[in-house]
A and B are shown apart, each in its own frame.
Chain A
Amino acid sequence: MEYESVIGLEIHAELNTESKMFCGCGTHFGEAPNTQTCPVCLGLPGSLPVANAKAIEYVIKSGLAVGCGINLYSIFHRKNYFYPDMPKDYQISQYDQPLCINGFIDLDMNDYQTRIGITRIHLEEDTGKLIHIGGAGRIAGAKYSLVDFNRAGVPLMEIVSEPDIRTPEEAKAYAQKLRAVLITLGVSDCSMEKGSMRVDANISIRPKGSTGLGVKTELKNLNSFRSLQRALAYEIERQAKALNEGKPEEIVQETRHWDEAKGATSTLRTKEYAHDYRYFPDPDLVPMEFDIAYIDFLRSQLPELPNERKQRFIKEYGLPVHEANLLTESKAMGDFFEETAKLYKGDPKAVANWMLGDMSYYLNTEGLEIDETAVTPKHLAELLKLIDKGVISGKIAKEIFPEMFETGKLPQVIVEEKGMTQISDEAEISKIIDMVLEENTSTVEEYRAGKDKAFGFLIGQAMRLTRGRGNPQLINRLLREKLQA
């Protein structure tokens, strides 16, 4: 039987405000444990929360950027449950009156387009971080546990999608697009590595064409877009196998932990009892009320968003849809592209090709983001200019690239250091071609007998003798001239 999956994502993004959600403590990542704390975020008796206006603004902007409606009256609720990483043993969150509702994100997949609905975006506070000593590093069996409250109270935005996602690829594309939007807005760093963006996925499958819903599982510990895609693919297969083998009981409503190393999900057994969060309006906080003029003002402040940028790239730079899509997948990529195109002044498509070709290859290999490398738009623009000027060939450029990528040396410098400039001297090339013709008389015969392939071989020999530095156009022309002579 052919199945279709029904996927919904819950994405948490820490907001990059200067101070925490309900107190004045800093939010800087990586400080010594418990140094960014105060009575409020430690939940000391008698302390009270005061909402961070900037965080509220950030969430509203995020909502507007994904087409959400903004609730002009919104309140905070308390979500009650006991856990040692939560100082008050309740989390200030939102329940039935979130800040933003009913948005969407449009995805350009390779051969089709789709719209993923966003149910809601709400604002809450993050929890602290537990470190379990002894045992397997989990709380069960630990000798003791340490808690760092630096992160407790950092503003956290939860974005809940509709179950509109049908494939792991769409899930990844949706998460990436959302990330690009949030980074463009400047409201979150969205680093999955640092945990400032966290993705949980709900997944069920159903026979293709049916409209019912299967039993869903929730996947956690998806620490990269790759994990997200892989975990979903695994879970789809697992569920399909269970159904195909007539064992639907193997799919139960539960939370499953993704193990990246094993490439498998397994039941997460930390929840020992069913949770009833006993949500109720937080009496310590006053309702958030906005007027339409304020919302309109925030809307007018929105920067160019990824989809708008994509359209502009197509129009302004003449890029194909697919390339434009890839280049606007992250703000950093788009910025890099535009900056390079500006410095280069040549054909923007060449910039796009390099970025989506060699550059993406090295980024993926190293697992780096474009703004985390030594390569700057200046590097790429100069490389392209060297090719255009005939100083180096495209092939040499490809050889230079990894060094440039690793060391951050400008291409000109690498070329000079290694003597890699192109040989464009006609006399020198001519001499080399003569040598090739002398050494390969049989191939020359074959060519003359009409075997076109032989020409390529001879070019290759000439390139070999120049150690790749010969100007390809020049070699081509001189070889043809000599053969026809």
Chain B
Amino acid sequence: MELYQMTIHELHEKLLNKEVSAKEITDSVFSRIEEVEDKVKSYLTITKDVALEQAKLADEKIAAGGKVGPLAGIPTAIKDVMCTRGVRTTCGSKILDNFIPVYTSTAVQNLFDEGIVMTGKTNMDEFAMGSSTENSGFFPTRNPWDLERVPGGSSGGSAAAVAADEAVFSLGSDTGGSIRQPAALCGIVGMKPTYGLVSRYGLVAFASSLDQIGPFTKDVTDCAIVLNHLVRHDPMDSTSVKIDRPDYKEILINDLKGVRVGVPKELMAEGIDPKVKKVVEDAIKVLADNGAIVAETSLPNLEYGLSAYYIIAPAEASSNLARFDGVRYGYRAPDPDDLMDMYMRTRTEGFGDEVKRRIMLGTYALSAGYYEAYYGKAQKVRTLIVRDFNKAFEDFDVLVSPTSPTVAFKIGEKVANPLQMYLSDICTIPVNLAGLPGISVPCGTVDGLPVGLQIIGKALGEETILRVAYSFEQNFNWSEKPKLETRD
């Protein structure tokens, strides 16, 4: 087994035992990147210099007998929506092609402080708007399980990088499913923590009330390890929660006895590919076979979730993305006639179609005379969905569903039909609207393509969903790997 194939906890063991150095691990991952990146296209920027420097520091610390955490020397890919000081941060957009931040986002800094080795910044749908990474302003990323298919999105680069062993783990951001859906489509573990659990400071905002940073990992144990270092109160983020963080790794036990698992019928209804549904039903059976108490439940207002999301998220985005105006940073249209011309051309030339579509949607939804009918009503729907979840959690410890209604689709298949694309997130969006934690774990394949099981917890219920995910992983024993080929 190559070093690049290993998990965080396996590599940490080897580092502590001085079997390998951070430099060797880093070299291994970069050799893998060299080997497969042309096929997968996970990265927008590769930061080998930074990585080697960080690996050296980690090795020095280990050599000096210093105490190193479990992330020291671990090659990590960062979604290109998190600011990294001195390293180009594009958000997958031409408008930020030349943007080099002067500060590092809190989440990434927390990992830097733990001694990670940053391999690079990963591809994504422009400003995290999309479900396939085809909306990248630069190029699409390919699914390691089938190079003709999408890796999901918007954090497709981060998901593909881990699935293709181009990083040991990665960070993504999830506004409506942008971590869980690509994790499912790429056959890895992806988690969106409770809203406010991980600082958003330095995460370039798409929809502020929904955005949340989370990890992509090769297994649930790694997910818990990374989460341990992402969860930290940040005074720079007003919405950052203050909690006594449990040790998420310590609470991982393989025990489902008495765990009450609810299956919302709305998330197993039509719209879910029958083959995907079958795989998920089998996965739920694994839970039941191992002692979980499984029953059907209902979230009656979920059917309005997608509509509410496509009002709220674009509304916030229309305001968040106003700052990309050519005045202070990023792309500026050349030789403008006047201020208005500069604004218009900068944004016309700098933004891609999907971003423009959502800015227009959001602008409209907030306009005088339409606010109540759209934004106001969407917020009411959001409240109803929160209530639905609260009610369900009176009876259940976790809720489960497919993460994505389908397996990875072909590149180009849904580009012409935005509504079809939006449906990719029907199972994940309600979780963001309610601010809840959700994790996607691989639970099998359909026609050789991975399927994800989504486990949803109550607010700050990370321990419970991690434990269920871990138990599932231990009892399901899935070991398929992508072949980085084109399938027929």
Contacts and interface: CB of A to CB of B under 8 A. Distances in A.
A46 B323 contact: no
B83 A46 contact: yes
A286 B209 CA distance: 11
Interface stretch (A81-89, A244-252, A459-467): A81-89
A284 B207 CA distance: 10
A46 B201 CA distance: 6
Interface in A241-286: 272, 276, 278-280, 283-286
A464 to B, nearest CB: 70
B343 A44 contact: no
Interface stretch (B24-32, B100-108, B134-142, B462-470): B100-108
B22 to A, nearest CB: 28
Contact of A278 (B102, B325, B363): B363
Contacts of B78: none
A456 to B, nearest CB: 71
A285 B319 contact: no
Interface string A442-484: 0000000000000000000000000000000000000000000
Contact of A48 (B91, B201, B318): B201
A43 B320 CA distance: 10
A147 interface: yes
B447 interface: no
Contacts of B208: 283-284
Contact of B238 (A50, A84, A89, A279): A50
B204 A51 contact: no
A47 B236 CA distance: 8
A357 B446 CA distance: 94
A278 B366 contact: yes
Contacts of A80: 318-319, 322, 366
Contact of B96 (A45, A51, A279, A280): A45
A295 interface: no
Nearest to B379: A281
B238 A286 contact: yes
Given A84-B339, A284-B239, A45 B83 contact: yes
Residue from B208, B209, B319, B329 having most chain A Cβ neighbours under 10 A: B319
B426 to A, nearest CB: 23
B319 A278 contact: yes
B89 interface: yes
Interface string B85-104: 00001010000100101110
Interface stretch (B52-60, B185-193, B218-226, B367-375): B367-375
A43 B328 contact: yes
A46 B203 contact: yes
A55 B101 CA distance: 29
B113 interface: no
B434 to A, nearest CB: 15
A140 interface: yes
Q: Is the interface of A mostly helix, strand, loop or mixed?
A: loop
A408 interface: no
A276 B102 contact: no
A78 interface: yes
A220 to B, nearest CB: 20
A47 B366 contact: no
Interface in A82-131: 82, 84, 87-90
A33 to B, nearest CB: 14
Contacts of B82: 46
Name the residue in A88, A276, A280, A286 with the highest tally of chain B Cβ atoms < 10 Å from its Cβ: A280
Interface string B302-339: 00000000000001101100111101110000000011
B238 A42 contact: no
A357 to B, nearest CB: 52
B89 A45 contact: yes
A8 B375 CA distance: 32
A139 interface: yes
Contact of B327 (A46, A147, A283, A285): A147
Contact of A39 (B103, B237, B325): B103
Nearest to B81: A46
A48 B237 contact: yes
B343 to A, nearest CB: 6
A99 to B, nearest CB: 17
A46 B238 contact: no
B130 interface: no
A49 interface: yes
Contacts, number: 97
Contacts of A89: 322-323, 325
Contacts of B105: 46
B239 A286 contact: yes
Contacts of B151: none
A46 B322 contact: no
Interface string B336-351: 0011100100000000
Given A45-B96, A45-B99, A82 B343 contact: yes
Contact of A280 (B202, B319, B323, B343): B319
A42 B101 CA distance: 12
Contacts of B91: 45
A421 to B, nearest CB: 67
Contacts of B329: 44-45
B366 A44 contact: no
B458 interface: no
Contacts of A47: 103, 201-202
Contact of A139 (B89, B237, B339): B339
Interface in A315-363: none
A164 B152 CA distance: 61
B28 to A, nearest CB: 32
Contacts of A82: 322, 325, 343
Interface in A62-89: 78, 80, 82, 84, 87-89
Nearest to A90: B319
B205 interface: yes
A284 B202 CA distance: 13
A468 B282 CA distance: 113
A13 B93 CA distance: 39
Interface string B265-287: 00000000000000000000000
Most buried by A among B105, B236, B340: B236
A78 B203 contact: no
Closest 3 CB pairs of A and B: A89-B322, A283-B209, A278-B366
14 contacts: A44-B83, A45-B91, A45-B101, A46-B204, A48-B236, A49-B238, A50-B237, A80-B319, A82-B343, A87-B323, A147-B327, A278-B318, A278-B367, A283-B316
Interface of A: 39, 42-51, 78, 80, 82, 84, 87-90, 139-140, 147, 272, 276, 278-280, 283-286
Given A48-B238, A50-B235, A279-B366, 12 more contacts: A47-B103, A47-B202, A49-B238, A80-B319, A80-B366, A87-B323, A140-B338, A147-B327, A272-B340, A278-B366, A283-B316, A286-B238
